[in-house]
Chains A and B, each alone.
Chain A
């Protein structure tokens, strides 16, 4: 098994530092929003988590496509790793959205198009993980997983564009023109800087977690190989 790369250790440290700075910016650098108050600060990491969720599913779809073309097992590991991380962050996105909605919409949940499509997206990828765990043969599992990751990706643009295509109460902060949205706000320059910094930080978090998860997947593969080898002896 390969040792932990020095670059990964450096990335771990940089990411931790970025997360500390992003957290400081959220609480002390960005001004408080005049109407919603402190809860608006959830927005910075809420959107960044949603971005990482969608990025994870995009990486999974691309890795799935490459796996189908090359049948190289390492792309299957990349795919399942990206889905797992995407699921965690998509779930953070949905739960924090619900927490924000309680004081702003006066409801924890509503079946708005954005919330509905985000839930469908989460369920699609939860089913992906369940499907994989139900197939024993590794190559069959990888093949089915790759096809599923590509088809399942349809739910991602559907979720992203749902707030722009359908009538929704979900705010669109960038390029907003949704008249029915509740909780809409204009970002000041300091808010924009905090928002962009959070996006960059979460992208680093994704890269670092993906790298660690891929290493773990490779180790799990090696353990399986050794088990088979010892079993055959």
Chain B
């Protein structure tokens, strides 16, 4: 019913809240994915540093 009355009204429908919610989701999900990439990359760099140290120690001994 709401959608039918929307098309009968003169002005545009009041849908600003849905637009805001939409863009919160878009930027939120893109941001979360970016953060997840950054965290995973940082964790791999830490692992790599530790493993390279271990590898060098093994070669020395």
Contacts and interface: CB of A to CB of B under 8 A. Distances in A.
B26 A38 contact: no
B29 A222 contact: no
Contact of A219 (B2, B30, B41): B41
B22 A106 contact: no
Interface string B1-44: 11100110000111110110111011001100110010011001
B25 A96 contact: yes
B61 to A, nearest CB: 10
Given A37-B13, A219-B41, A1 B19 contact: no
B41 A103 contact: no
Contacts of A45: 22-23, 26
A219 B25 contact: no
A135 B33 CA distance: 24
Contacts of B54: 230
Interface string A144-168: 0000000000000000000000000
B55 to A, nearest CB: 6
Given A34-B12, A37-B13, A103-B15, A219 B22 contact: no
Interface residues of B, number: 33
A226 B18 contact: no
Most chain B Cβ neighbours within 10 Å, of A32, A99, A100, A104: A99
B12 A35 contact: yes
B29 A32 contact: no
Interface in A89-131: 91-92, 95-96, 99-100, 102-106
Nearest to B41: A216
A103 B6 contact: yes
Contact of B29 (A36, A92, A103): A92
Nearest to A48: B26
B48 A219 contact: yes
A41 interface: yes
11 contacts: A35-B7, A38-B12, A39-B19, A41-B19, A104-B3, A216-B40, A219-B41, A223-B44, A223-B51, A226-B51, A230-B55
